[in-house]
Amino acid sequence: MKTYLNRIQYFCTKIHPVNINHMAVYLNDVSRTFGEYLLIPGLTTKQCVPTNVSLKTSLVKHNVGEKSPIELNIPFVSAIMQSVSGPELAIELARNGGLSFIFGSQPIASQAEMVRRVKKFKAGFVTSDSNLTPENTLADVIDLVNQTEHSTIGITDDGTPNGKLLGLVTSRDYRAEKDDLSTKVKEFMTPFSKLIVGEVGISLKEANQIIWDHKLNTLPIIDKDQNLAYFVFRKDYDNHRENPNELSGADKKLLVGAGINTRDYMERVPALVKKEYGDKVKVGAGNVVDREGFLYLVKAGADFIKVGIGGGSICITRETKGIGRGQATAVIEVAKARDEYFEETGIYIPICSDGGIVYDSHITLALAIGADFVMLGRYFARFDESPTKKVNINGSYMKEYWGEGSNRAHNWQRYDMGGSESLKFEEGVDSYVPYAGKLKDNLDVTIGKIKSTMCSCGATTIPELQKNAKITLVSSTSIVEGGAHDVILKDHNR
């Protein structure tokens, strides 16, 4: 390689001796991924147990000796993608301590409405997504149940979630196999006069007590004009207890972020925050993969910085454009620049590792090598709460998942080359991911793994992990050694 480069230099000297210093910069380090590293176990003291582990982490910049104005209770944020971050996922992730960024590749008004829905959410009070009018038929009821998989239907005067409540239909009100499908809803619904309801302003504790006292499965909550506001369900009772990890502000409303772009931010930001914003709005920026990129965004005023180009599971930027960097190498360099900047200025700028996560163990590695939190797309796209359809593909349930750089996303504001409002080529694919169920069930498992690994490394906080972690490169054969080998695995699906 040295001889080859010398020949290039000689050739360039002979032809363009004046421009010899304008050759590209060749980096000596190898571009590495999380899968090429392992954490070395440390001393596990009696204090190092999962119940003592705190995953709190800074979201935005702060001065030395001060707390971050916004802290995450778990180091997870969801990707700014159409197929990931809708209001349902944003609500559930915030209730569990993380943060979603509502996707910006949509009209300003619809993004602002999604943010409003998250901020309006009250734990235990569910806005109805299954509604019909009294003039609909049993056939409509069955179609809606199949579509939403919810058996409780609010019957309103206009068929909307907040119309005047006229009745309720549940699975106890009809027999799908025997009843006439053309029967009008008004003939078999439970009319309003026979319903027990609560009024807007009631506390969750009071609502649950009414459910208990009257042996109800569902309690409709109405306003003074009899308009449907929410449902409270008996089956959700266990989930209505106060969540210690819930991420909310001083006003007790859930926290949520939103994606913006460089084209219409002057109109989009005011619509999202609906108030004088100035320096009260925190802005993350990215993506970068090296020291220079980090320092540029710091100078521009970024409150946190996203690291990663081309490492996402649906991203083909490296294939299409030949740019990017191995995610582990990128995080290591930017984290070093972040720490040096902190030493020089006393200002700490959190960094977010965006992409490159294949296994849950990679999240802990990303944190250990310097990331303050991780942004995940594929991980969250698998869950019930993501905005995409659950489909059956060859006998297995999947969720749709597409990149913001794909033609399907039409995100020309982010991936354009100037000129017309269209993509010239794709930097993302349209795909499926295996359906995994509810967010909370999966997130609890992942968090359990992270806490257990941190204990094995002798750390009970993320800063301790970053300070004390010992990390080693692994060879291809040691990767094989690390998995199940030299055995015949049992087939548990039989």
Cite the active site residues: 315, 414
257 forms beta bridges with 101
Name the amino acid, one letter, at 370. Answer: G
Q: Which two tokens stand for residue 155?
A: 């019957």
Residue whose tokens read 């359906």: 435
Q: Which of 319, 348, 354 is nearest to 425 (CA)?
A: 319
**Residue 173 to residue 32: CA distance in whole angstroms:** 60
Q: What is the 3-state secondary structure (H, E, C) of 371-422?
A: CCEEEECHHHHCECCCCCCEEEECCEEEEEEECCCCCCCCCHHHHCCCCCCC
DSSP 200-241: TT--HHHHHHHHHHTT-SEEEEE-TT-BEEEEEEGGGGGGGS
Residue 27 gets the label, from left (phi > 0), alpha (psi -120 to 50) or beta, of: beta
Q: Residue 292, Cβ neighbours under 10 Å: how many?
A: 11
- Rounded (10°) CA dihedral 462, 468, 474, 478: -90
Count of residues making up the chain: 494
